[in-house]
Chain A
Amino acid sequence: MARHILLVVHLVLRQFFKTSIMKISKFIKLCSFIVFFLTFSSCKKNFLDEKPNSAIILPTTLDEFQMLMENMTVHGFTINLPLLSSDELEYINYDTYLALRQNVAKNTYIWNKDIFGGEINTGDWNNQYTSIFYANNVIAGLSKIPRTPENDKKWKFLFGWAHYCRAFAYFDLVKNFSPPYDLKNAKTLLGVPLRLNPSIDEIMPRSTQEQTYDRIFTDLDIALNNLEPAMSLNKNQPTKITCYALGARIYLSMGEFIKSETYADNCLTLYNKLTDYNAISLTDANPFRTIDTELLYHTTAPGVYTSLTVTTANNNINIPQRLISLYNTNDLRLPIYFARRANGTYVRKRGYQRSGSYTSTGLATDEIYLIKAECAARRDDVATSTKYLNDLLVKRFKTGTFAPINITDPSLLLDKVLEERQKELIWRGLRWDDIRRLNKLGANFTLSRLLNGVTYALLPNDVRFTFPIPDNELMLSGIQQNIR
């Protein structure tokens, strides 16, 4: 009897239990929330979407995209390899060479077939693609921002900047990792992979040389259409002037002298100021100001290789005597560009970048003057060529000592322009590409090194004038290596 009654009671309890358990759990959830949120000030609808950290930025605004473009450790570097392999430096001795920390520095110096020697992520390839990745993120992000009259100016500035940045990076890649531009074979020669969106899931094959250069000029045109014509004091920010300057440099490299001259003219029309070296300290280890008159766009070669540092403490390398001897005694560039060591050898001082110990590889008006002079000489316009050459050189000599150049033979004048180009633009990362393009035109420069009694030579138009693509890129993307 008792057992039966207990059983009934139990069943009733269980029934009650079943229905109430849901109510109770709802009640619990409610209570937890109430208790929890009683001590909060703001609403918690997006409790699980809250940004976890003040240091994290999810870039969505124009200011945030600008901050991505202002990163000069990403956008401010150019490829080191041309500096390491050109004829503008030599190691003090074999021991110094042996003690070099990176195989790349060793191998590139003697133009080995394999320059990486197992090193990965040396930066030369990666840095430019990082810059492109940032630019692609900015371009993709900008497309989501509605344009209004209020934000239009800034939107265009950033849109132009990102395209300029991409053009600059692709040119730096193509002039080092693709053979010298060849109009006839541009459709078949390999350029570099063209990445136009920020996705990291997609692997691009190498485009053709033509596609690469087309892309560069497409981007440069977009930049020109969006950027302002006035010079910026922030030399990492491009303007129409820098676009023209970059275009002049690229067309010169391609051997398109007419177009190069047009770009140079457009550039100089907007801005043609030069620095008078008579106003520059001859003794200061940092002769130039951060914002130098001549500087159009600031980049440097990143300082991964100790041999490339531009401080008087660089005890690894000498500037070849052959180059030093080119400078006239009244040429101010000798004391301003170089520091003389006690033993009579020379080392490069800081250039237009002033701070830091990496050599300046950006764009400056002196380069544009020389481009203009070269292009004019090539179309036998001696008057124009000498005018630009003399306009530049008069600012490079001690006041009153400069005798204007007066060469009437266009071919001799061109030689003079090219010599001045080597003297003026030394350690600006341009020499290697100059040898490439000039050999293509038949200049017949042979590079040679003497190291530990062994002579190494790089004959004109050797395939080793094109650098190999780093091993890990090949392994992970399967793109084609350069013949070397």
Chain B
Amino acid sequence: MIFTHPGHGHHVHWPKQIVRIMKLCILIMTTLLLQVSAVTKAQITLSEKNAPFEKVIRSIKKQSGYDFFYNGHDMQKAHPVTLNLRNVSIEEALKACFEGQELSYTIDEKTVVIKEKTLSFMNKVAQIFQSIEVKGRVVGDKGSPLPGASIKVKGTDVTTISNSDGEFSLSRVDEKAVLVISFIGYESKELNAAKDLGNIVMDLTTGRLEEIAIVSTGYEFVPKERATGSFTLIDNKTFNRSVSPDIISRLNSVTNGLLYQQEGLGTTLSVRGRSTLFSNAKPLIVIDNFPFDGDISTINPNDIENVTILKDAAAAAIWGTRAGNGVIVFTTKSGKYNQPTSITINSNITVGGKPDLYYEKQLTSSEVIDVEKFLFNQGVYTGTINTNYMVISPVVDILQKQKLGTLTTSQANAAIDVLRGLNIRDQLNQYYYRQSVNQQYNLNISGGSKINKYFLSGGYDRNSSSNVGQSNDRFTFKGNNQFKLMKEKLIISTDFTFNSSSRDIKGSAYNKFLPYEQIADESGSALPVLIRGGLRASFTDDVGGGLLLDWKYRPLDELRNGYASRLEKNLGFRVNLGAEYKVFEPLSVSLNYQYYGASTLGESPRTIESFEARNLINSASYIDQTTGLLVRPIPYGGILGKDNSTFNAKAARGQLNFNKLLADHEITAIAGYEVRQDKTANYETTLYGYNPDRASSSPVDQTAEFPNYFIPGASSVNPNTQGWAVDNSVSYYFNASYAFRTKYVLSGSYRKDESNLFGVKANQKGVPLWSGGLLWNLHKEAFFKLPWVDKLALRATLGYNGNVNKNITAYLTAQSLNTVNLYQQNYSTIINAPNENLRWERVRNVNLGIDFSVFQGRLSGSVELFDKRGFDLIGSNPIAPQVGQVLYTGNVASTKTRGIDVQINSVNVNQKFKWLTTLIFNTAKDEVTNYQDYTGNNESIISANGINPIVGFPINSMFAYRWGGLDQNGNPKGFLNGVSSVDYTSIRQSFNIKDLDFYGSKIPTIYGSVRNTFSYKFVELSFTIGYKYGYYIRKSALNYTSLYAGAFNQPDFERRWQNPGDELKTDVPKMIYPSNNSSDSYYNGASVHIEKGDQIRFQDIQLNFNLNRQLIRSLPLSNLSIYAYATNLGLIWKSSKTFADPDVRYGSPYPFSCSFGLKTIF
């Protein structure tokens, strides 16, 4: 077996047929690599001036080894020949020789027969039709293929267009004909017809700095300049500007129409705002022509060639029900035909700072101690103290001893003062965090002959996180091959991607319980700490009279020794097989198949030394009343949690491609059929009494409850769980575009999706989604006479996309959680009342766009307006509770999202020193236009973490209680029905939304970036400034109820109302006991905590030294880049007065990180 889990001997059982496919792929790739450029031909070199014909023929015979047959009489008719040939084929040599002669020749095998030309009538007719088949490939100045270029025989109507590899062929072309090759944005080119024209390199129209973009929809390649839809291309250079181990973070601030939100540790991507409420709101990720639903972090960015973002209906409708949130198409690298082998090595290292643990506000140790003293005097801890096993803090312990008289007041105060000086964050910073280091290495080899192209890449990433004990690595391998068979009528492509990554986490998460606790003593030895809801120090000191296991928790020991750890191993591979067969001239058939398999194996060993194992064993232990001996129902030993999740996707696609250019008319069309299945499965199991040396464990009753050693309650062990999910879908699609004189382009698409998600009735209907679009290249019109405008194109599209909601079906469904009722019986809950009329969500998408380029490309860009309307969105409607359900879930809601996407590229200085600016500006404003559910009371509107749709307001609305300041007693004043009130319960439960202040969206509504690039000779410097406007954030606020429950990570305690008159200086209510939960909730939700999130961020900076042979002739390589990149550089401006980074309101911001790298091309 190829894939084994090292060290443990756990085999991954890949399906047999997959192994077979993999083997076959490797074989094919290896074989083809060996075949590269194995074809050679007779080469002839001749240099003659007015030489006798016969002499030249003899010379050719000698060089070629061919036999020549002719009679001497004919030779006398020959003219002398002047030639200068170097390394040409025999055909070319003969052709040159016979130019203008009255003789003709035929080649048969290795024999050349020379005859006198006979010009009968038929011959003369034949001469007219004497023609050749012309082949060639149109490429841009950087060698990338130009699909859709037009090739016309000059003076005739015979035309064709190049395919996705830039290749074309024309049959029956007069040998002497001239071909005109044209492509928008490039200078037209004329060349003499020849059988094989090889690579025809096109030159960019003067003033243009960038090559023409070819965008990918995942189904076909479209030249952007002929696309009606809204596509944004992120080219390879832009994609690789930033350094990261993943592909998603490289999309930040480099493209219009995409909002990259990084809050806390989560990242969300959204294309043109949100147009669903509760369904999947993530953009569809497409890799290698198929949707990618696996773990995105397994993709190596070095394997990505470029990225296309499909934003509107015309661009994305081809993806049907999955396109409602936009589509991001990653195109992976491949080799190029007729290109020598090149080897690229890229390696970099990124160092990140320690996270700032002091970023999040919290009470000081001294303040916490004062609160504890206050509560102690209120008698809060009496019940706890009287229960001998319940945890009390060291301060409460001291106070109790003082109360009992075992400590004097001064002793107690002295002991407490010591604690006041301690800060757990200092120790966490010292022991738990470090600088992060990410290393990345990648090597790839690519190249191609006339009939084959290949790409091979291997990558290795090693990251050690800023959390001590946490690291991960990734190995990726990718190989692809494409070759032409059957006189280039058949193209076969294979692609294989493999990745193996592992994650290693040592130590269990330590949640600080008290701010003045210490995890290590001065010498660095681990100290025991207390746990919220855990056991008292004095109780664990005793350890059941010594019968039990040590019951102390020393987090630092666990971290250092890895007593509790988590290991994850992820294996994944993707196989893509494709075949394209040219049936006849304009029509080809293609078949594609993808298999993707991924599995994650997780192990969470907790050794007997770990607190978790000891605690569980102790908790369940008891003393047998008859024998007096200790009994351990949970066996002595470690705990081993094992989990496995697998993901399999299989997809097959058959497609007809049609590509025809007839004079002024160009038609491209695809029609296809696709079948797909995604399957996930997982299981989780836990072994007890685990001994790693013997790999043994002991059985434990998973349903039993073990009464606790201390009262009351019981412990139970983790039950084994498993589950699976499967998505099946069948789709039909059609996409066509028609262009007239490349001035007007009309496009249309249609797609129908059917799946197993919604149940039979919805399936029978499927969901038909369509789009239509128009493009007008205004600058090509004869009447358009503005010489300074290079390009002006207008685009308009309309169409429908869909959204998927996997949580709902048309049937009555119940869900069985793996829990039992009081009498140990499994039970189930109805999760879905039957709804026969359930449909897919639809999004109507209108896009209007202008593409322009002026002053010879000095200023170019696009401006687009969009309007997205979500229809039939799945949401909830209230129904009379007497039916047994309070909400009816169905297609009940609508939304509206509008916005603008602007991208402007400007060449400010274009001398040896160059200065380029890219400006990106987006707006996206959404609104709920129909939703019938109760919005809930004011409390539920305010505390909504998710979406709480209210008609007429943004999907993610920020509301707050109107704030009336503090009264003279330090209590907050609110409003009930417009009147000042302190009835917090009624304020919170009121349905009068007018008592709330509405601010706006919680999500940025205006965002974008500015990137400036400076270059001089081989040095390039660029930096990005990102900005986000038009949204609001909520600060966390002091909450006495949770403070009394021990949550000390709260702000503003020092600013609280303490004396009359303070209400003029502060908004923080006074500390009262008992706390009033309603008052706390009101204060926490009050408008005084709302701030604008607006910000301007110094996103990143990049410096690149790019050396090549043009600059340094002696360079031993063709290209050498040395680069540096820094990110998380902080904010330039922000509206918030509270947060250094308004996007980070809890925890700590991403620390500054800096990368250095080297890229060489041989």
Contacts and interface: CB of A to CB of B under 8 A. Distances in A.
Nearest to A204: B882
Contact of A70 (B15, B677, B821, B882): B821
A36 B593 contact: yes
A17 interface: yes
A298 B880 contact: no
A443 interface: no
Interface in A1-20: 1-2, 13, 16-17, 20
Interface string B694-728: 00000000000000000010000000001111111
A38, A57, A95, most chain B CB atoms within 10 A: A57
Contact of A234 (B128, B816, B823): B823
B1106 interface: no
Contacts of B17: 38-39
B927 interface: no
B666 interface: no
A133 to B, nearest CB: 2
A56 B813 contact: yes
A441 to B, nearest CB: 31
B1025 interface: no
Contacts of B129: 2
Contacts of A134: 830, 884
Interface string B660-704: 000000000001111101000000000000000000000000000
A129 B883 contact: yes
Interface in B738-776: 754-757, 760, 763
B814 A57 contact: yes
Interface stretch (A114-122, A260-268, A322-330, A405-413): A114-122
Nearest to A234: B823
Interface in B826-843: 826-831, 833-834
Contacts of A39: 15, 17-18, 595, 650
Contacts of A76: 821-822
Contact of A28 (B672, B822, B827): B672
Nearest to A193: B882
Interface in A39-78: 39-40, 47-59, 64, 66-68, 70-74, 76
Contacts of B760: 48-49
Contacts of A17: 584, 587
A193 B884 CA distance: 12
A378 to B, nearest CB: 36
A286 B708 CA distance: 14
B654 A64 contact: no
A203 interface: yes
Interface in A185-218: 193, 195, 198-200, 202-204
A130 B756 CA distance: 29
A136 B757 CA distance: 26
Nearest to A286: B712
A24 B815 contact: no
Contacts of B991: 118
Contacts of B587: 17, 21, 24
A195 B883 contact: yes
Interface string B778-810: 000000000000000000000000000010010
Given A32-B653, A33-B652, A36-B652, A106 B985 contact: yes
A71 B821 contact: yes
A52, A198, A355, A472, most chain B CB atoms within 10 A: A52
A31 interface: yes
A454 B809 CA distance: 54
A17 B584 CA distance: 9
Contacts, number: 249
A253 interface: no
A99 B1077 contact: yes
Nearest to B131: A2
A113 to B, nearest CB: 16
Interface string A173-187: 000000000000000
A70 B823 CA distance: 9
B1116 interface: no
A272 interface: no
A236 interface: yes
A99 B822 contact: no
B828 A57 contact: yes
Given A39-B17, A99-B1077, A313 B383 contact: yes
B990 interface: yes
A29 B884 contact: no
Interface in B287-309: none
Contact of A130 (B712, B831, B884, B1077): B884
A481 interface: no
A450 interface: no
B809 A56 contact: yes
A203 B880 contact: yes
Interface in A370-400: none
Given A117-B989, A118-B991, A200-B884, A28 B589 contact: yes
Interface in B906-920: none
Nearest to A116: B989
B879 interface: yes
Contacts of B828: 57, 59, 64, 67-68, 70-71
Contacts of A66: 825
B646 interface: no
A36 B674 CA distance: 9
Contacts of A49: 756, 760, 763
A234 B823 CA distance: 6
A198 B814 CA distance: 14
A68 B830 contact: yes
B728 A50 contact: yes
Interface string B1069-1105: 0000010111000000000000000000000000000
A304 B1042 CA distance: 20
Interface in B937-981: 937
B431 to A, nearest CB: 37
B937 A36 contact: no
B878 interface: yes
B591 to A, nearest CB: 5
A296 B990 CA distance: 42
B583 interface: yes
B33 to A, nearest CB: 25
Contacts of B883: 129, 133, 195, 199-200, 202-203
A66 B821 CA distance: 12
B1013 interface: no
Interface in A268-292: 285-286, 290-291
A233 interface: yes
Interface in A80-127: 95, 98-103, 106, 117-121, 125-126
A403 interface: no
A72 B821 contact: yes
B383 A476 contact: no
B46 interface: no
Interface string A129-160: 11111101100000000000000000000000
A56 B807 CA distance: 10
A54 B723 contact: yes
Contact of A47 (B651, B756, B821, B879): B756
A76 B822 CA distance: 10
A294 interface: no
B1128 to A, nearest CB: 39
A470 interface: yes
A477 interface: yes
A431 interface: no
B878 A476 contact: yes
B811 interface: yes
Interface of A: 1-2, 13, 16-17, 20-21, 24-25, 27-29, 31-33, 35-36, 38-40, 47-59, 64, 66-68, 70-74, 76, 95, 98-103, 106, 117-121, 125-126, 129-134, 136-137, 193, 195, 198-200, 202-204, 233-237, 285-286, 290-291, 298, 313, 353, 355, 470, 472-473, 476-477, 479
Nearest 6 A/B pairs, CB to CB: A133-B884, A28-B654, A477-B880, A36-B652, A70-B827, A234-B823
